[in-house]
Amino acid sequence: MKILVTGGLGFIGSHTVVELQQEGYEVVIIDNLSNSSIEVLDGITAITKIKPHFEQIDLKDKNNVRQFFSNHSDIAGVVHFAASKAVGESVNEPLMYYENNIGTLVYVLQEISKLNFQNFIFSSSCTVYGQADELPITENAPVKPAESPYGNTKQIGEEIIKDTCKVNSDLNSIALRYFNPIGAHPSVKIGELPIGVPQNLVPYITQTGIGMRDQLSVFGGDYPTSDGTAIRDYIHVVDLARAHVVALQRLIDKKNDSNYEVFNLGTGKGSSVLEVIESFNRISGQNLKYSIVDKREGDITAAYAETSKANNILGWKTELTLDDAMDSAWKWEQKIRNS
Ligand code: WQD
């Protein structure tokens, strides 16, 4: 079976391509290389020994999208990652985010509606919850006004899919709300490749550990948490990738209860920033240099997933720990800086 992975050379996309190939799927990748590198294709191939078919297409080009789908009308499912994802950047470039994240989703859905198999997995985010009123966060938690255009594009994206599923019963869709993806493939052949100064915690930690950054700034030390630093649910990217395979299989096997389902993907455990630093120190043997500074605009205090829906309905749960993820992230950082 042929599966299209849009944004398949990105961080989560590439790890999902590996898991799909290892599950026996034929994978076709579309990526515009705006936030990824063609070398990732070699990394995927080195792991699976199967080179995915790749086409460099910008999904904002409606004609190219239409041409692609007419050349690949035998696609059995689409996993849609292609989107811009930097929260801070989205505040400064809202129109770029709405065009790139919403316009492209519409074009992909328009083309999927012409296929025999309309199975669609959407890359969403726990950011749709904002600061949830209750922890852990279930899929029934209210979606709150987005704190950034990036978060808004995820909320709008879910609404677009829901509305389309209402009028197109052939479209079978699952939205996966990721918590905080971290780590790298254990083979150390693919991993996260942040461009410029990392916005996210773990790549900033590993770049500090390797000497690229002087020290880590911990954004906020007086949150109402056990150690005063903010809490997130850090999920290993390989566990996250495996959830996509399980979700897609659910649609292909027509086991879905409705044609639009939502699942939280997290470990169910919250970790504070200081606990993440301690994880790095444990696995690296270093004593990471950091200083506690003011809170970052738009950050929430705490978020971690209630995972029983994904556990019981998808039959999926995380297998890897924070230390496993940190160990893989550190090994990846050392590899890319020493190669
Ligand atoms: C985690 C914690 C920071 C950097 C965002 C998006 C989410 C997803 C992941 C795309 C927070 C603290 C961070 C640093 C720090 N993105 N931190 N110093 O903000 O929870 O989630 O990225 O899919 O959708 O919302 O992740 O890694 O930026 O921050 O103290 O240099 O680490 O304040 O508490 P975040 P993050």
User: pLDDT tens, 214-265?
Assistant: 999 999 999 999 999 999 999 999 999 999 999 999 999 999 999 999 999 9
Share of the chain above pLDDT 70, in %: 100
Residues in contact with 186: Cβ distance below 8 Å, sequence separation at least 6, in sequence order: 238, 328
Q: What are the tens digits of pLDDT across the range 292-324?
A: 999 998 899 999 999 999 999 999 999 999 999
Rounded-to-integer distance, Cα 10 and Cα 20, Å: 15
Rounded-to-integer distance, Cα 177 and Cα 294, Å: 28
Residue nearest ligand 1's atom 8 by CA: 180
Q: Please, which pLDDT band fits residue 339 given cuts at 50, 70 and 90?
A: confident
For residue 254, report the distance from its CA to the centre of ligand 1, in Å. Answer: 35
Does the structure show a pLDDT above 90 at 281? yes
> Which of 129, 150, 223, 260 is an active site residue?
150
Beta partners for residue 173, in sequence order: 120, 260
For residue 115, report the distance from its CA to the centre of ligand 1, in Å. Answer: 37
Does the structure show a pLDDT above 90 at 31? yes
Binding site membership of 115 for ligand 1 (Cβ less than 6 Å): no
pLDDT, average across residues 82-96:
93
Nearest-5° Cα angle at 232, 182 to 287: 65
From 245, 114, 239, select the one nearest 174 (Cα to Cα): 245
For residue 229, report the distance from its CA to the centre of ligand 1, in Å. Answer: 12
CB distance 10 to 54 below 8 Å: no
Beta partners for residue 121, in sequence order: 79, 174
Residues in contact with 103: Cβ distance below 8 Å, sequence separation at least 6, in sequence order: 60
CB atoms within 10 A of CB 291: 10
User: What is the predicted pLDDT for the residue at 88?
Assistant: 87
Binding site membership of 217 for ligand 1 (Cβ less than 6 Å): yes
Beta strands in 50-147 (DSSP E): 53-56, 75-80, 119-125
Residue nearest ligand 1's atom 21 by CA: 180
CB atoms within 10 A of CB 221: 17
From 96, 112, 127, 116, select the one nearest 161 (Cα to Cα): 112
150 labelled catalytic: yes
